[in-house]
Amino acid sequence: MKLKFLGAAGEVTGSCLLVEADDARFLIDCGMFQGGRDAAPKNRRAYARELGRLDFVLLTHAHIDHCGLLPRFAWPRHGAGLPAIYCTKPTADLVPVMLADSAFVQSRAAARPGRRRAPVTESPLYTLEDVRRLATRLNAVPYGVEFLPHPQVAVRLHNAGHIVGAAFVEVRLADGGRRRTLLASGDLGENSALLVRDRDLPPPADVLVVESTYGDRNHRSLQDTETELVEVLHEVLQERRGNVVVPAFALGRAQEFLVLLYRLAKAGRARVPLVFVDSPLARQAAEVTFAHLDAVDEEAAEFHCAERARKLPFALRYTESVEDSMFLNSIRGGAVIIAASGMCEAGRIRHHLRHNLPRRECAVLFTGFQAAGTLGRRIVDGARSVPLFGESIPVNASVHTLGGLSAHAGQDSLMDWLRAIARKPRAVFVNHGEPLAAHTLSSRLASEMRWSPTIAEAETGYET
Ligand SMILES: [Zn+2]
């Protein structure tokens, strides 16, 4: 079996693994590189790469860093045609929504050269039409049911507990006269996550590929996170009479934060008068998420039912138009405003920061990792002022970071999942992590499990 990591090696974005065994040749994920200055050229190079004949693509989930380069196969210049893509039903529903948003963001960035740094590339990698063509190749498969995307390959998708529809993949294939099993973790979630059901246990495998996003650290407990959030909400909304602005990723984090607010308000631990979700993409993501109630956690399903019955313990509004979004700027206090992007690099969150950052009575509440070089990171690092829309905006609002809401498993949680693998794999690859995270997890696997993991290097071929 040959493996080649075309992304997410030494970093956490651009997931794409090429697998070859006997005459089967396929990809697991085809994600976009995100963040940092070199993401745009890497996407362009990856997009132009000749992948040759592919039998199929297995897609773990709908985050852009796992599916964002799939439309390459709809490109007229991609001669080999469109391979079939297999994923769960929620993922198949989410992918067109996520990719259409990505195409829109790219076209807008290209239409405004020089206005601000293009997030992806200087010209769009793909269009809405490409996304539409690509979407016709998505095949939905239930968790736990074996299917044959190729005569010599049998695949089963398992719940990864990361976002709705996320899967880790178990692939049984013919390899040099033997049957061998490849297990690829995709992104694994914490079992305490509020939005999706707990992840499945891993089956045994000959070859294992495991993510290491948080391979070097653990998250704060959900209990501590709740206590912290209760304090911030009380202090800002009731005592200071300001707003709480929450930058959040549209898919996953925005919905999870709403469930957390619901949980606290229902228990009488927090008084939250008004909640706005100012992100059309987050609204669409919520629609797809809650259309799959069998995949979401019980409390998340309860939140959804309460919302539909108009029995939420707070007023929740989704804003659609730019006018509605601008109206939020006139609200002086008592509101929680959730908007994308999660790292404040683009989107409506920047308008809310402009209006609320200078006000001492307000707060900015980060719910996820802020990568180096992003506006979110500058605010977290204590910048006294930040540039927004050509102005220098003073940071007078208080700044908070909730430590326990990650959609990724922390180090101990990753180890728990790995310990559940019944027998030692013949080969283990650690990918999807910054170098320190990948090395730390790898050391624990070596010392505690007596495994000999290989830290995946980009563009390197491995024969196992
Ligand atoms: Zn993910």
The answer to whether 375 touches 385, Cβ cutoff 8 Å, is no
Question: How distant, in Å, are the alpha carbons of 242, 264, 295 from that of 363?
Answer: 7, 19, 33
What is d(CA 352, CA 356) in angstroms, rounded to the nearest whole number?
A: 6
Q: Under DSSP, is residue 328 helix (H, G, I), strand (E, B) or coil?
A: helix
**Band of pLDDT at residue 250, cut at 50, 70 and 90:** very high
pLDDT of residue 115: 47
pLDDT digits (tens, 9 = 90+) for 16-51: 999 999 999 999 999 999 877 788 899 999 988 888
> What predicted TM-score, i.e. pTM, was given to this entire model?
0.92
pLDDT digits (tens, 9 = 90+) for 136-168: 999 999 999 999 999 999 999 999 999 999 999
Residue 415 makes CB contacts below 8 A (sequence gap 6+) with: 441, 444, 448
CA of 393 to the centre of ligand 1 (A): 32
CA of 187 to the centre of ligand 1 (A): 5
What are the structure tokens assigned to 207, written together?
Answer: 């070859």
Residue 239 makes CB contacts below 8 A (sequence gap 6+) with: none
pLDDT digits (tens, 9 = 90+) for 116-140: 444 444 689 999 999 999 999 999 9
CA of 268 to the centre of ligand 1 (A): 32
**Band of pLDDT at residue 365, cut at 50, 70 and 90:** very high
CA of 61 to the centre of ligand 1 (A): 7
**Band of pLDDT at residue 112, cut at 50, 70 and 90:** low
pLDDT of residue 49: 85
CA of 464 to the centre of ligand 1 (A): 27
CA of 63 to the centre of ligand 1 (A): 5
CA of 60 to the centre of ligand 1 (A): 9
Q: Cα 421 from chain centroid?
A: 25
Q: CA angle at residue 394 from 343 to 119, to 5 degrees?
A: 30
Q: Calculate mean pLDDT across residues 299-324.
A: 95
What are the structure tokens assigned to 299, written together?
Answer: 């409390």
CA of 41 to the centre of ligand 1 (A): 22
pLDDT over 90 (residue 72): no
CA of 407 to the centre of ligand 1 (A): 7
pLDDT of residue 80: 58
Characterize the bridge pairing of strands 315-318 and 385-388: unpaired
Q: Under DSSP, is residue 324 helix (H, G, I), strand (E, B) or coil?
A: helix
CA of 266 to the centre of ligand 1 (A): 29
Q: Where are the beta strands (DSSP E) in 358-440?
A: 363-366, 385-388, 391-394, 398-401, 427-431
Q: Is the dihedral of CA 206, 210, 216, 221 positive or negative?
A: negative
- Amino acid type, 296: V
Q: Where are the beta strands (DSSP E) in 30-152?
A: 56-58, 84-87, 138-140, 147-150
